[in-house]
Structure 1
């Protein structure tokens, strides 16, 4: 079972004071650009990965005298702290763990990130290819690697196995089967609904992404141009809206993940689609009425197959202003090697990015078997982003959520998508 404490940290990261932990690097004391390295400083989110790092501290410390200072913050405080330090070109930060989709474009444009391509590709034994393809995709811009992914998250189907079994319905393998099952189990007169998902304008965009991909579309084309009004995107938006309009709870257009997941956890919906990091919500006996009946399925196939987001909530990069970049890489390489990554998965239930760790039966013993099976079989189907790929991502989500709200309300989606696409393109153009 997922560590509820760890998963809560990943989803609702509280602000905490700086945490200083004495660590050490393996393989002797590395040299700095201007001499011997005696310490490194890491700034990171207060996340499951950061918690797991503590369990490796004593081993790391035993192998060298290099001290590692870890400063852990809540996400917003983390971003503010990093921007202040990096904007000042401070060299007192060597490594930082950051949210790829929120800040990587801004940080790389400002020259704050070290190009790590040669580092990750130079050590065959460390094995960059062992990281999931979507995770490797997520930490790159224009072919340049800006970090090592240390946490992942996927779009999955949560469903009531007892209800499907009683109705003789197999877990849906296609989106059409999902719609048919939601219709068959929908019972609004008795306060029970076929499906619950995010329907609020901004929160829904990340979940809409997998539908758009599986219909053959994306938010942008290969050149970065807006494609919200493509036939594939329109069809996906209409499908998403119809699910909630026809088989979802009342007020769906005002629901984020907290409200939608609560409906499923209370036993009032047959299906819930969202991130696999929410599994703890339904496996916590103190908060869930579906502990014994919740099951997990891969995101269903659409016309273009099962194409779902497989994102990186946290990656570890090196500051462009650090004077100890080689030493910083030695630490990152050590903490993300196969042995330590597998230990992170097993001991701290960190949803890691290395495929070999997920293939280890002992390491995955604490995870729900259904989720492990999904993650083991991602292959090339995961997509490394769940939102538009530009710096002004919050503004983009506000725009793109508009047509989805129109769909939920039964309006003219094609017209709304055309209007949204124009506004989105203007936003994209403003960054060129």
Structure 2
């Protein structure tokens, strides 16, 4: 990270900030849960597989409350993300998973799970008033959440739990010093970034992910703004068309003309370090990285940060969206009990807690818009407004395909090459030619 590591947020500091926030209780009363027969499976024991992080930790920490509500005991395993993804695929492929409930990363695993049929269809459970609280309705989830959770034929194979929207973080003090207006469009953002770049002062107009693979999240935000679609209605790849080329040109220009030295090696951590040290005027990344920016032990920009919905693109106004959900293993013999756990995991109580500690954003609009929940949010109001605004324009930031890792590697390499001067159109064409047969083989398998 070079000079941008001094005084910046370390992983230890970020984890400490999350632990401190986790001690905050949800302001307001608990949801009624009155109409549901929560005790119908009392005495059952569920095996739950969770991803290590704010969401998984929150569910594990409050599992005793679910047991008190239902009489169902919970044995949960919380595993770091990469290892968890590998473990659950191996177990689900075997047909004999050790868990009844599974936490999944939609942006990586959605298509793989749908194609394999690994999750139980929850559609009937949701319609059963003895199993589902009346407040839990499909219409309460954002459009991106439903797109993630549902199969093409309309089956609800999981419940959307937490969403990560890309938002624009901006340093108000740096903007004010040069009398630069907040950018309403991507063109405005480019001009503002150039104006705010001052290498002699050690400040730059923009910072974002330049590292291969990780850069696909940022590139996807630009691609959507230019009206891009990853696949057409027949599943054909669309990453080398004019929308992709123009999006890559913007990415190339921002990161080569207005970003800190060494940005080609930046993931979210390095980008955050530059921003929290006051060396970058704008940073486009996930909304969940906000808490450390307001932590005086990890940030030099406390009280100076603005939070906003991404600017409008030339053809669309879209918030690149990523997320996770929770579902019931199709092989489980305890599907109803497991569904009760999933419902509790996405309830107002748990979703409100998640939002208030800054550990994630619930997919449910009723939680986001609840005044009582909002009162307990410790982040600035601008942050919450950016979350609510992003929910209205959310679009998936990665293609829904099985070989997502290969997509991120191949297209990510092409985009990274442009930071060394390579031509965007040429690189994207080569990437498309390399990735198309991989995609086709995965669909035929």
TM-score by length of 2: 0.85
Which of 113, 121, 126 is the aligned partner of 1:115? Answer: 121
Relative to structure 1, the CA distance from residue 230 to residue 188 in structure 2 (aligned partners, 3 Å threshold; closer, same or farther) is same
Post-superposition offset of 1:63: 3.2
Q: Distance in 1 between matches of 2:18 and 2:409?
A: 26
Q: Distance in 2 between matches of 1:158 and 1:344?
A: 21
Q: Distance in 1 between matches of 2:423 and 2:226?
A: 19
Matched, 1:424 2:435: yes
Counterpart of 1:197?
208
Counterpart of 2:101?
95
Counterpart of 1:357?
367
Relative to structure 1, the CA distance from residue 194 to residue 344 in structure 2 (aligned partners, 3 Å threshold; closer, same or farther) is closer
Write out per-residue CA displacement over residues 37-92 of structure 1, whole angstroms, 9 at most, x where no aligned residue: 62222111122223322454343333343212111111123223323432332264
Q: Distance in 1 between matches of 2:177 and 2:109?
A: 47
Relative to structure 1, the CA distance from residue 279 to residue 379 in structure 2 (aligned partners, 3 Å threshold; closer, same or farther) is closer
Write out per-residue CA displacement over residues 205-259 of structure 1, whole angstroms, 9 at most, x where no aligned residue: 1111011011011222232211111111110111111111111122222222222
Relative to structure 1, the CA distance from residue 74 to residue 402 in structure 2 (aligned partners, 3 Å threshold; closer, same or farther) is closer
Matched, 1:378 2:390: yes
Write out per-residue CA displacement over residues 173-220 of structure 1, whole angstroms, 9 at most, x where no aligned residue: 100110111111111133221111111221111111011011011222
Matched, 1:30 2:40: yes
Secondary structure of the structure 2 residue equivalent to 1:377? helix
Post-superposition offset of 1:97: 0.9
Which of 352, 355, 370 is the aligned partner of 1:342? Answer: 352
Q: Distance in 1 between matches of 2:238 and 2:424?
A: 14
Which of 121, 133, 145 is the aligned partner of 2:156? Answer: 145
Counterpart of 2:144?
134
Post-superposition offset of 1:344: 4.0
Write out per-residue CA displacement over residues 83-129 of structure 1, whole angstroms, 9 at most, x where no aligned residue: 34323322642111111222233233333211223334555532221
Write out per-residue CA displacement over residues 347-399 of structure 1, whole angstroms, 9 at most, x where no aligned residue: 6754211111111234233122111001122354101x322322221111121
Relative to structure 1, the CA distance from residue 416 to residue 6 in structure 2 (aligned partners, 3 Å threshold; closer, same or farther) is same
Matched, 1:183 2:189: no
Of 110-119 and 271-280, more deviation after overlay is shown by 110-119
Relative to structure 1, the CA distance from residue 203 to residue 151 in structure 2 (aligned partners, 3 Å threshold; closer, same or farther) is same
Q: Distance in 2 between matches of 1:330 and 1:80?
A: 26
Post-superposition offset of 1:426: 1.6
Secondary structure of the structure 2 residue equivalent to 1:43? strand
Q: Distance in 2 between matches of 1:412 and 1:71?
A: 46
Relative to structure 1, the CA distance from residue 389 to residue 57 in structure 2 (aligned partners, 3 Å threshold; closer, same or farther) is closer
Identify unmatched segments of 5+ residues in structure 2.
1-12, 20-35
Counterpart of 1:13?
none
Matched, 1:82 2:88: yes
Q: Distance in 2 between matches of 1:350 and 1:278?
A: 9
Matched, 1:65 2:76: no
Counterpart of 1:221?
232
Which of 25, 47, 50 is the aligned partner of 1:44? Answer: 50
Which of 290, 309, 332 is the aligned partner of 2:342? Answer: 332
Counterpart of 1:315?
325
Matched, 1:366 2:378: yes
Q: Distance in 2 between matches of 1:381 and 1:411?
A: 32
Note if contact 2:141-2:363 (Cα within 8 Å) is conserved in structure 1.
Answer: yes
Post-superposition offset of 1:274: 0.9
Which of 392, 399, 415 is the aligned partner of 2:410? Answer: 399
Q: Distance in 2 between matches of 1:139 and 1:245?
A: 38
Note if contact 1:91-1:321 (Cα within 8 Å) is conserved in structure 2.
Answer: yes
Note if contact 2:358-2:379 (Cα within 8 Å) is conserved in structure 1.
Answer: no
Q: Distance in 2 between matches of 1:228 and 1:352?
A: 30
Secondary structure of the structure 1 residue equivalent to 2:184? coil
Identify unmatched segments of 5+ residues in structure 1.
10-25
Post-superposition offset of 1:268: 1.1
Between the two proteins, the alignment pairs up a number of residues equal to 409
Relative to structure 1, the CA distance from residue 121 to residue 215 in structure 2 (aligned partners, 3 Å threshold; closer, same or farther) is farther
TM-score by length of 1: 0.87
Post-superposition offset of 1:279: 1.1
Q: Distance in 1 between matches of 2:98 and 2:416?
A: 46
Q: Distance in 1 between matches of 2:165 and 2:438?
A: 27
Which of 171, 176, 179 is the aligned partner of 2:182? Answer: 171
